[in-house]
């Protein structure tokens, strides 16, 4: 039995994903995830209690496509509101104490 060494695989990615161009010209069922307006999707998922369902309805697609789009294009963390930024620790640095042992 031959042993596989790491040498031939140095330039190979750990996880591969075929190019979507392989699907060009195929008549596939369901909505096309590439047609999702990602910035709009990110806005929509922060507005409702059931964000995937709400975004799917608003973007005229299904929840599976929304979940796939979010897996591929994670939403950035929301920016803190001005009031949340003002709630930071207002004590001068000279009064801070270390919590590390």
pLDDT > 90 in the chain, percent: 29
Confidence of residue 99 (pLDDT cuts 50, 70, 90): low
Main-chain phi, psi angles of 75, to 5 degrees: -70, 135
Residues 32-46 as b/e (b if ≥16 CB within 10 A, e otherwise) read ebeebeeeebbebbe
Nearest alpha-carbon partner for 40 in 64, 56, 17: 56
Q: pLDDT at position 23, please?
A: 80
Confidence of residue 96 (pLDDT cuts 50, 70, 90): low
* pLDDT digits 0-9 by tens, 18-49: 887 888 888 888 888 888 999 999 999 888 78
Higher pLDDT, 96 or 32: 32
Q: What are the residue boundaries of the structural domains of the chain, listed by start?
A: 31-76
Number of CB atoms found within 10 A of residue 31's CB: 16
């Amino acid at each position: 039995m031959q042993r596989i060494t790491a040498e031939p695989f140095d330039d190979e990615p750990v996880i591969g994903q075929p190019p979507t161009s392989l699907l060009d010209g195929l008549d596939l069922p369901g909505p096309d995830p590439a047609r999702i307006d990602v910035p709009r999707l990110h806005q929509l998922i922060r507005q409702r209690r059931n964000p995937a369902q709400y975004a799917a309805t608003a973007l005229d697609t299904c929840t599976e496509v929304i979940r796939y789009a979010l897996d591929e294009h994670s939403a950035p963390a929301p920016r803190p509101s001005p009031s949340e930024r003002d709630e930071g620790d207002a004590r001068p640095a000279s009064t801070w104490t270390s919590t590390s042992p």
